[in-house]
């Protein structure tokens, strides 16, 4: 009966033998009722005690055993299962190697799921560049990661409302090329995903390649620097024809 729930055959036999009796049993009686070999009985009993399925007491010099009510065992099994399931849900596999491949990904929903997984698994840092409408869905998760001690920096194109400590927002002011939405996520200085539109469909690359991660990290801070510079000196800089022409060639 109990074998479906992680108990061995001997454990199931012993539990059923004890449960079938109206009074506590000693080890010799349990051997007789359960047909479990005498050489195995104490090992089996100790495992059942550890699992909370059997209780023990001393009666004079004799140790007696009684079974825990089946409904109590069911409640315990359910509680243990729920706890193990929650641990599995929160478990993050850690790579023990550097994957230098560049993986490609299509489909907006799949890309969003990958971005969320990367952020959720961050242990030290998250850098995230995106248009504000795409950033919005991740803000709650990003704020939670910052509260857990992860260093989070975001750069948005367009305004965003968040409690994050390191937030940079660019309001495009240069006329020229149309805006090209993108999403860039860099996690723990190790994992990188870059997504953009191609023929109105989202496509992305994901990699652990160190040179690419380093280059895209520099790209992120390059954009942050430009954003801060334009906040302070934008009006003055755009009066310069050469600078205005160069700025129009950027993705913004």
For residue 154, give the 3-state DSSP assignment: strand
The more confidently predicted of residues 91 and 151 is: 151
How many angstroms separate the CA atoms of 153 and 28, rounded? 68
Q: How far apart are CA 45 and CA 213, in angstroms?
A: 56
| pLDDT confidence of residue 186 | 97
Task: Kindly state the average pLDDT of the residues 165-171.
Answer: 89
* pLDDT for residue 252: 46
What mean pLDDT is predicted for residues 124-136?
94
Question: Tens digits of per-residue pLDDT, 133-157?
Answer: 999 999 999 999 999 999 999 999 8
Q: Band of the pLDDT at 191, cuts 50, 70, 90?
A: very high
- Domain residue ranges in the chain: 2-90, 102-247
Q: Using the 8-state DSSP alphabet, how is residue 248 labeled?
A: T
Q: Judge: domain 2-90, CATH 2.50.20.10.
A: no
pLDDT tens digits for range 28-67: 999 999 999 999 999 999 999 988 889 999 888 889 989 8
CA angle 25, 26, 27 (to 5 degrees): 120
Non-local CB neighbours of 183 within 8 Å, separated by 6+ positions = 111, 115, 128, 129, 130, 131, 134, 193, 194, 195, 196, 204
Region 114-128: mean pLDDT is 94
The more confidently predicted of residues 93 and 81 is: 81
Comparison of pLDDT for 213 and 250, the residue scoring more = 213
Q: CATH 3.40.50.1220: does it fit domain 102-247?
A: no
- The answer to which of 11-20, 122-131, 177-186, 243-252 has the lowest mean pLDDT is 243-252
Collapsed DSSP state (helix, strand, coil) of residue 186: strand
Residue 199's pLDDT is what?
84
Which DSSP symbol is given to 240?
S
Q: How are beta strands 151-157 and 166-170 bridged, if at all? A: parallel
List C-alpha distances in Å: 95 to 98, 105, 138: 7, 20, 24
Given CA atoms 172, 146, 206, 136 in this order, what sign does their dihedral have?
negative
Distance (Å, rounded) from C-alpha 26 to C-alpha 167?
69
CB count, 10 Å around CB of 249? 10
- Would you list the DSSP string of 38-90? HHHHHHHHHHHHHTTSEEEEEETTEEEEEEPPHHHHHHHHHHHHHHHHHHHHH
Q: Could you tell me where the DSSP H helices lie in the chain? A: 9-19, 27-34, 38-50, 70-90, 108-120, 132-135, 139-147, 210-237, 241-247
Q: What is the mean pLDDT of residues 83-109?
A: 78
**pTM higher than 0.85:** no
């Amino acid at each position: 009966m109990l074998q479906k729930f992680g108990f061995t055959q001997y454990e199931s036999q012993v539990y059923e033998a004890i449960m079938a009796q109206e009074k506590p049993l000693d080890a010799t009686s349990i051997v007789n009722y359960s047909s479990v070999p005498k050489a195995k009985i104490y090992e089996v009993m100790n495992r059942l005690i550890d699992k909370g399925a059997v209780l023990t007491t001393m009666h004079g010099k004799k140790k007696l055993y009684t079974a825990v009510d089946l409904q109590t065992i069911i409640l315990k099994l359910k509680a243990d299962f729920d706890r193990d399931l929650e641990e599995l849900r929160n478990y993050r596999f850690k790579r023990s190697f550097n994957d230098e491949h560049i993986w490609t990904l299509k489909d907006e929903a799949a890309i969003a799921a990958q971005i969320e997984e990367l952020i959720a698994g961050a242990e030290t840092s998250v850098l995230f560049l995106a248009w504000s409408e795409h950033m919005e869905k991740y803000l709650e998760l990003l704020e939670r990661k910052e509260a857990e001690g992860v260093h989070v920096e975001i750069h948005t194109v367009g305004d965003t409302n968040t409690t994050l400590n390191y937030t940079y927002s660019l309001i495009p002011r240069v006329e020229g090329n149309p805006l090209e939405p993108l999403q860039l996520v860099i996690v723990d200085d190790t994992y990188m995903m870059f997504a953009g539109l191609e023929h109105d469909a989202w496509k992305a690359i994901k990699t652990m390649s160190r040179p690419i991660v380093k280059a895209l990290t520099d790209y992120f801070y390059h954009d942050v620097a430009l954003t801060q510079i334009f906040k302070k000196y934008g009006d003055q800089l755009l009066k310069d024809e050469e600078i205005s022409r160069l700025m129009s060639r950027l993705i913004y």
